[in-house]
Structure 1
Amino acid sequence: MTLRLAIGQHSEAGRKPLNQDFHGVAQPTDAQRRSRGIALAIADGISTSAVSQIASAAAVRGFLEDYYGTAESWTVRRAAHCVLAATNGWLHAQSQRGDGRFNADRGHVCTFSALVFKGREVHLLHVGDTRVYRVHANALEQLSQDHRVRVDGQTYLGRALGVSPHVEIDHACLPVEVGETFLLASDGAYEHLDATTVQATLTQHGTDLQAAAQALVSTALARGSEDNVTVMLARVESLPRAIAPLLNRDDLRLPPRLSPRQEFEGYRVVRELFTGPRSQVVLAVNAQAREWVLKLPSAELAGNARELDRFTSEEWVARRVDSPHVIKAAPAERRREFLFTAMEYVPGQTLAQWMTDHPAPSLDEVRQIVEQIARGLQALHRKEMLHQDLRPENVMISRQGTVVLIDLASAHVAGLSEGHGDARPLELAGTLQYTAPEYFTGAGGSPVSELFSLAVLTYQMLTGALPYGLQVPQVRGERDLHQLQYVPLRARRPDLPEWLDRVLKKALQPQAARRQQALSEFMHDLYVPGPEFMKRDRTPLQERHPLLFWRGLTVVFGVATVVLLGLRVSGR
């Protein structure tokens, strides 16, 4: 099942010489429908401006065109807000060049409402006093809020596109069902329509929503509307049952096991790098003699659609992130017969091997690696993606010293996960000892969760151990977070500065809200620690160095025991 809508829309100038309303519906491709959904929008220019019809047309056209040009990995909210912020900035700039510079009522100003249907949900974007309703049997449920201000008995528009350089856009996300109908209308229409009229008109025209929209516009004009009148109707005809896979693998076969010198899909196998129960990884060269890593699913995954979808996601994600610190996908030069992924080959060593070779690295060596990992994560986060499996084996250090994140199969893509209820990254996808505690409590992941994982790696590079040992995977609820015992960095590396321990302890806080709130903040603290980290530590020795505390206490008890025994003997 796919997402399908029935649409009806109509607009008339009415008694006014010029129609300053504008409306439209996108016609997305099948791929765009899966990743971006179906969008429709309406705008109403203010009557005091001679150019507001330009504003309303630009707002609707700009939204319907530019929204589908945003990153497929973005959520509807982020994509829509970016597009509308750019539109608002352009409209305000046009106003500043004309009569609207000193009087906003004469500028490029309009109200705006849009619906974006994606998956089994609908997103509402709104600013101004156009309205969006959900039609029920005996009522119209208003989903949008009128941004009007009442002053001295007069009503003014409180918020609209083009009024100021920045605008606040209302956003709401609602579940939808097959058969539901939504109504978008300008004030010239809704002020003269009621639930009974709308329902009767829909009943009269049945499946012909275009005729129903025209009839509603005619009714509003007949009832005395003196403004432009615009009505849009959208009825949900079908919904997808589940999230669509990133790639269509229906016509792809599972590959055979490959051997050295074998020709496969335009590549020649050089040697096997890894083999396991779920996949085979080989080094291969293409026609240009460039080396690539091919990952092939094993026959055991034949009936596991979920794992095969995750398998194909790695290449999809890699193609949409441009960073020297994130693995790149091979160019798609030919149609494939078999299911596999082709990623760049990074000659060098994993971070796990580097740590074995550098058991006590300097702070500067570690910072250089951590900074590059952070840049790779930031590139993913800008696309609203989470790596979710940050561990030493998934970090490559090239022979030139470039750090590259590999294995994107566990990545969470926000824009592709939404549309079917809770789209938060809740699943435990990575290696448990590097996973942030909020995954175990059910709160789900975020970029701050990846900051925690990066801090675990930083601590491990410096000490060869984990800051909480194996305690974190045992967390099951919020109460367990308070039982986690952080082992101070200086208990294992007393040569390192005290401020570094405080920086890492903050990044490794069990409660996400108590950590640094951005990777950039964490990196700044690693290089330029602020006053909160430089103050003299008054924390009790038992908390700062529990191992040293208990060792010292044991020595004291031992000495005291010897002294007491000596006194007892001498007393005899």
Structure 2
Amino acid sequence: MSISELQLNYSSVCEAGIKAANEDAIAVNLPDDSHLLTYKGACFTLADGVSTAEAGRQASERAVSRFCHEYSQTPDSWSVAHSATQLLATINNELYELSHQFVHNQKGYLTTFTALIIKSQTAHFFHIGDSRLYHWRDGVLLQLSLDHTTVLSEQRQFLGRALGMDARVELHQGSLSVRPGDKFLLCSDGISDFVSADELQRQLSAATDLGVTAQQLKQQALAQGSDDNISLILLEIMGLPEQSLDDLNQHLTRLPFPPALSPGMKLDGYRVLSELFASSRSHLYLVEDESTVTESTAVDGSAIDGSAIKGTARQLVLKCPSLNYDDDALYIDRFIREEWIGLRIESDYVVRVVRQCRPRTFLYYLLEYLPGQTLEQWFERQPKPLKPALAIKLVKQIAEGLKAFHRMGAIHQDLKPGNIIYQHDGSLKIVDFGSVYVAGLAEIASPLQHEAALGTAAYSDPHYLLGHNSGVQGDIYALATIAYELFSGGHLPYGEAVEECRTAADYDKLRYRSSHQFNPVIPTWFDRALQKGVSLDLSQRYQSINQLLTDLQQPNPEFLHEEVKQQHKTNPLLFWQLLSGFWFITLLLVVWLFLLRR
């Protein structure tokens, strides 16, 4: 299989120069582990501690060492930008707090910082301060970083931004596609203030040995009178991870599809008990893991004769791909991603994918077994509308499951009652990872072009179905739609017409239907929250799940004045009493206080 990995060559210098102490710091993390190299990339960092802050050396060393070490530990489902900015915000906050512990003796933990991360076929950079990052290609040198300095005169200028300077860090960041032969230079101002851009371009163009070039740049800076610390990292892209569609297909299909299974058959130590679900795309079987069979024990703890009472085995769900797609690389890739995603989502409200500890002879994966039925099936059998307290309990559980996806940089994109399991104890779990979007995976170059949408028209965000990834707001739309359905007694906010829409013009014709017309108990403020949750205009839709939940559980003042204007027969107070009981208790208290004063 001819799949190449990212190949880099680099050299570095970090010296005090003519100064007594070195307040610069560099750190590099070029993983040997192919998984980390693929999903996180290679990390190069340089920091120049602010000498006037007195703790500049400690700040620069802390920043680069922590960033390089902890970046690789961030979830590999996170995008590079999300991982880096979250980590830098944490480092900045720590330096800022350390600086304020020494406010009386002016000891500040301040440093410039520049990071370059090469992942797949893209370079990502993050910068603050006056260190510099250059990109060289085909003889042309371009400065990627911005100098965060304020110039007062030709002789006087000061640093405008640095890590640890403010409670909130303002980074300059960006990305660009890379090619073999590209070179990057990270350097402190001990280099950039004394070696001209033209000379840097000449040196990088002539460079054949990066180690020699790095030393030449150092010597040239000293010869030009550099009176600062001298630090630089010089790297070259030697090879990029590339693969043909044939290579990828061979990699994905190294395991054959399992045949159709029936009760009693065994697969890698899993005995099939029954078929749970079958469609043209996949099959789910209830199986027991024979390696986990345990002997029953008596009350006193002694073993009972196994011939009298059969042991028990752990029951799991085995998901198999459909033989209809055994030559479809796109389908196989998506199936494999389902397991990858599921192993990284941890929540009491999301089905757990089971990590396998023994070799597989076929392509499949395992999930925990959830006794119960889909929320769709359960809801069909319930008296409608649901009691508000029950409906909001279900919505909150679904919301918690979605938050687990979002924390991992993933968007479900196909949330619907059919993809939620209602268990016998009343708890819910989100299932199915087939349409999940993961930012970290999207950054990895692939010859496969996934289809824009696999969602369900009645619940998926129209923006997503039209090919635009609306991110968290797309899942909010689905959650609000489900909430509408539960509270309205089974109706949809835009009616059945939403399932016939195919173009943006079709969606423009849709009109929101007030949930009040299906359930008169629903007050206007609650209906307005639902309407905002399913708004087709992203600028009007909620930005976070917590915002939606807040407005569904307590009246938003912006919506209350609209309710006063409504002259429906509804009793909003009754709804709120059913939802929380709070206003009813408050009303009794007010009456009691009123009687006491008479």
Instruction: Please give the residue correspondences for 1:18-33 in structure 2 after superposition, counting only pairs within 5 Å.
Output: 18-28=21-31, 29-33=33-37
After superposition, the C-alpha distances for 1:349-386 in whole angstroms (9 at most, x for unaligned) are 11111121015122222111111001100111111111
The Cα of 1:341 is off from its aligned counterpart by: 1.2
Please state how far the C-alpha of 1:388 moved relative to its aligned partner: 0.9
> Residues 531 and 424 from structure 1, CA distance in 2 versus in 1: closer, same or farther, beyond 3 angstroms?
farther
Q: Which amino acid aligns with 1:72?
A: D
Structure 1's 426 and 489: CA in aligned 2 closer, same or farther, altered over 3 A? Answer: farther
In structure 1, what is the Cα distance between the partners aligned to 2:97 and 2:398?
Answer: 39
**2:284 match:** 281
Letter in 1 for 2:368: E
The letter for the 2-side match of 1:310 is: R
Q: Which moved more, 1:359-368 or 1:386-395?
A: 359-368
- Report the alpha carbon displacement of residue 143 of structure 1 after superposing the two structures with TM: 0.7
**1:383-532 counterparts in 2 under 5 A?**
383-420=408-445, 427-461=452-486, 462-473=488-499, 475=501, 480-532=506-558
2:158 to 156, 159, 164: 156
Q: Give 5+ residue unaligned stretches, structure 2.
A: 293-312, 571-598
**CA 140–536 in structure 1, closer or farther in 2 if over 3 Å, else same:** closer
Q: Distance in 1 between matches of 2:470 and 2:283?
A: 29
Q: What is the SS of the residue equivalent to 1:389?
A: coil
Is 1:10 paired with 2:13?
yes
TM-score with structure 1 length normalisation? 0.87
Kindly provide the CA deviation profile for residues 90-115 of structure 1, in whole angstroms up to 9, marking residues without a partner as x.
Answer: 323333444xx2465x4222111011
Q: Partner of 2:51: helix, strand, or coil?
A: coil
**Residue 354 (structure 1) aligns with:** 378
Alignment of 1:180-199 (within 5 A): 180-199=182-201
Q: Deviations over 1:255-281 (max 9, x none)?
A: 222221222122111111122223221
Change (3 A) 1:250 1:187: farther
CA distance in 2 between counterparts of 1:425 and 1:252 reads 21
CA contact (8 A) 2:187 2:232 kept: yes
Larger CA deviation: 532-541 vs 82-91: 532-541
Q: Is this contact kept in 2: 1:386–1:411, CA < 8 A? A: yes
Q: Secondary structure at the match of 2:276?
A: strand
> Per the alignment, in what secondary structure is the counterpart of residue 234 of structure 2?
strand
1:478 deviates by: 5.4
Distance 1:511 1:25 in 2: 44
Once the two structures are superposed, what CA deviation does each residue of 1:538-572 show, in whole Å capped at 9, x if it has no partner? Answer: 8899xx9xxxxxxxxxxxxxxxxxxxxxxxxxxxx
Using structure 2 for the length normalisation, give the TM-score: 0.84
Q: Which deviates the most, 426-435 or 78-87?
A: 426-435
Pick closer, same or farther for the CA change 1:426–1:458 going to 2, 3 Å: farther
Deviation (angstroms), 1:425 = 10
Match of 1:376 in 2: 401
TM superposition shift of 1:473: 4.9
Determine the C-alpha separation between the residues in 2 that align with 1:507 and 1:325: 21
How far apart, in 1, do the equivalents of 2:137 and 2:443 lie? 26
C-alpha separation in 2, matches of 1:490 and 1:23: 62
Contact 2:372 2:423 in 1 (8 A): yes
CA offsets 1:482-518 (integer angstroms, 9 cap, x no match): 4212222122223433333222122121112212222
**What is the DSSP-based 3-state SS (H/G/I as helix, E as strand, rest coil) of the residue aligned with 1:433?**
coil
Closer/same/farther in 2, CA of residues 456 and 11 from structure 1, 3 Å limit: same
Contact 2:76 2:440 in 1 (8 A): yes
Amino acid of the structure 2 residue aligned with 1:92: Y
Does structure 2 retain, via aligned residues, the 8 Å contact 1:414–1:424?
no
Match of 2:355 in 1: 331
Look up the match of 2:578: none
| Partner residue, 1:239 | 240
Whole-Å Cα distance in 1 between the matches of residues 238 and 565 of structure 2?
A: 64
Aligned-pair distance for 1:54?
2.1
Asked if 1:87 corresponds to 2:91, the answer is yes
Q: How many residues align?
A: 537
Q: Secondary structure at the match of 2:353?
A: coil
Identify if the C-alpha distance between structure 1 residues 21 and 248 changes in structure 2 by more than 3 Å, giving closer, same or farther: farther
Aligned match for 1:302, one of 326, 329, 338: 326
1:231-272 C-alpha deviation (Å, 9 max, x unpaired):
211222222347999x97454232222221222122111111
The partner residue of 1:201 within 193, 198, 203 is 203
Partner amino acid for 2:25? Answer: F
1:180-214 per-residue CA deviation (whole Å, 9 max, x = no partner) reads 111111101012223442343334441x2122111
Q: What is the deviation of 1:535?
A: 2.8
Change (3 A) 1:95 1:267: same
Encode CA deviations 1:134-172: one digit per residue, 9 max, x unaligned. 124554311111111234762111111122333222211
Counterpart code for 2:557 = P
**Which has the higher mean CA deviation after the structures are superposed, 398-407 or 141-150?**
141-150
Q: Is the 2:452–2:465 Cα contact (8 Å) retained in structure 1?
A: no
Q: Aligned residue for 1:171?
A: 173
Inter-partner Cα distance in structure 2 for 1:239 and 1:52? 36
Give per-residue Cα distances to partners, 1:311-358, cap 9 Å, x unaligned.
122222222122110010113221222210100111011111112101
Identity %: 35
The two structures, once aligned, show a CA RMSD in angstroms of 2.8
Aligned CA distance change for structure 1 residues 424 and 400 (closer, same or farther; 3 Å): farther
Q: Indicate the residue corresponding to 1:567 in structure 2.
A: none
Residue of structure 1 in register with 2:308 after alignment: none
Once residues 477 and 279 of structure 1 are traced to their aligned partners in structure 2, the CA distance between those partners, rounded to angstroms, is: 29
Shift of 1:480: 4.7
Residue aligning to 1:558? none
Distance 1:401 1:487 in 2: 29
Q: How do 1:118-129 residues align onto structure 2 when only pairs under 5 Å count?
A: 118-129=119-130
State the distance in 2 between where 1:97 and 1:103 align: 9
Structure 2 letter corresponding to 1:459: Y
Aligned amino acid, residue 257 of structure 2 = L
The structure-2 alpha-carbon separation of the partners of 1:494 and 1:46, relative to structure 1 and needing over 3 Å to count, comes to closer
Match of 1:390, SS?
coil
Task: Sort the Cα spacing of 1:297 and 1:18 in 2 relative to 1 into closer, same or farther, 3 A.
Answer: same
1:554 is aligned to none
1:15, 1:228 within 8 Å by CA — same for their partners in 2? Answer: yes
2:594 aligned residue:
none
Counterpart selection for 1:61 from 47, 58, 65 = 65
Q: Secondary structure at the match of 1:91?
A: helix
1:442 is displaced (CA, Å) by 3.8
Where does residue 257 of structure 1 map in the other structure?
Answer: 260
